[in-house]
Structure 1
Amino acid sequence: MGRTTSEKIRLGALVTAGTTLLVVAAYLIGNKENLFSQTFMLSVQFANVNGLQEGNNVRFSGVNVGTVKNITVVNDTTIKVDMILKESIQVFIKKDAVATIGSDGLVGNMIVNINPGKNSDEAVKDGDQIISYSKIGADDLLGTLSVTNENAALLTADLLKITRAITEGKGTLGRLLNDTAMAKNLDESIENLKYVSDKATLSIDRLNKILKSTDDKENVVGVLFKDTVSGAKLKHVINDLQSSGENLDSLLKNLNTVVYDVKTGRGALYYLTADTVLVKQLQKTIDHIEQGTESFNQNMEALKQNYLFRKYFKKLEKEQRKEN
């Protein structure tokens, strides 16, 4: 049984629509996969791809420029991502470009963002590998927040214990807040410290004035500090005083010995001070010496008046006058 014309028309329309849909789908898929344009390959390594899949978009400065070709696990800390990019944007991607993984919107698919380099003028080549920057993922953030919450809970519990102990007057801080006598003593201690600090400040000011006065060359202290000649003289005087002190010490020892001998009846000084008979004899001897000296002077005067010796004595007087 042959087909009618209407059936043939409907069959032709269906085939045409299917062919058109197939061509459009192939074009869309090929355009997404960059099958109908010149492309080049780039790769990047991440520690965590955060759910990135093959076929996800690659963006350069916010513009879709390619897709993820392949994702390979190199080792437990490195994952390699191969990307197919349009050749038209190759000149804009520099050697120091940085790749990051982000999301397409709040809940969209993961994508690779390529940020252009700034310090390099050389563009990437086919098959080059660029550096990556791994952002903190949501899981990491949640883990960190969980740890932070646990630490905050422990800290709150510790603070509660401390405040309770302070309220009950336990510990040094609790006693300071609740014990009025201790607070008063602390007040007095602070006042004493303030008084001592003021005195120390005054003493330091006076000491500074003294130190400043040493800069004056007319000041005695300044001369002692800065004049090396005066310093040497002072050192010499101190040495002389030390030597004199040693001699005086020796003299005092000898004087003590003499006094001891006098007290114990030893030596001639004892007889001169304590033996009255010896003193009288010495007095008589001195009187006789004085009488003999007076007689000698009288004899010399008489001898000068003698005719035989008068010229001699006159000659001596003339020689003495010349010498004077």
Structure 2
Amino acid sequence: MKGDNKRGIIVGIFVALGLLILVAGILILGGQQKRFTSSIRVNAIFDDVGGLKAGNNVWFSGVKIGTVRRVFFYGTSQVEVEMNIEEKSQQYIRKDAKATISSDGLIGNKIVLIIGGTPKVEPVEDGDILKTQAALSSDQIMETLQENNQNLLQVTKDFKEMVGKIKRGKGTVGAVLTDTMLAENFRNTIKNMEAASKSAARVSGSLSQFAAKMNTKGALANELVTDTTVFRSLRASAQKLRQASDNAVGVTNQAAVITRNLEQTTNKLNSPNSPLGVLMQDEETAKNLKNTLQNLNRGSVLLNEDLEAAQHNFLLKGYFKKKEKEKQKEVEKQ
């Protein structure tokens, strides 16, 4: 009896451990499949799901937010995917988000990846259908890699041929690398460039010294460049020189006008058609003018004598006395 009881206790312990392991496994698997969390149902319709099946994960921004509930055909050739999304993640997924098929790693299981969405749009609700975005399949990726490999092979082949031509001395680069004369010329060119660089450095040093001298305070160049008073004085002097030059031009023009007038006057005086020209050049006219003046002088003397005689005449004596009295009265009034 004791042996049977001991055996029953051992069997009971093992059965209890098995039940505990079974419950733990169920809880773990249920937690991974989000079986015991509140969720909403969201669908998406794809042209090709690439092997996606129920139980695969749904990701958003790198975080697992649900699982694929079932996959079934829609219409004639499309596939509808029904997903369970956690309610606590519902607020982050917007109605304008898109669903695409991706993979967990390079060769991992297929997953549904939710991307995009703007904050201004309302969150998804139970039963919403998301828009989809086509993704590159593994076959397309392999085709792209194969094409890239062929291009890389062609580039490698061309590079190999180019290096072979250079080694054989073909082309400019090959000639430079194999021809000693060209190499010597190239070295001479480098030497000349170094000499030119040194000359340029010396010129630059000279320019720096010259600039330093110009920047020395008190020097004429520095005063001309920096002192506004000197600059204004020079500008005023230039303006005065310009005015003096303009005045000199005006005086020269006036002198030319006066000279031209004197020349015209001289020409008129020398002209036999003018009165002064006749008086200055015609001797006979000059003699007649002289005789006329002499006659006028003599006539003036005789006229004075006649007037003196008239004053002593008893007929005009009263008239002249009357004139003298009037002159005296005017003098007294003054």
If the length of structure 2 is used for normalisation, what is the TM-score? Answer: 0.47
Larger Rg: 2
If the length of structure 1 is used for normalisation, what is the TM-score? Answer: 0.48
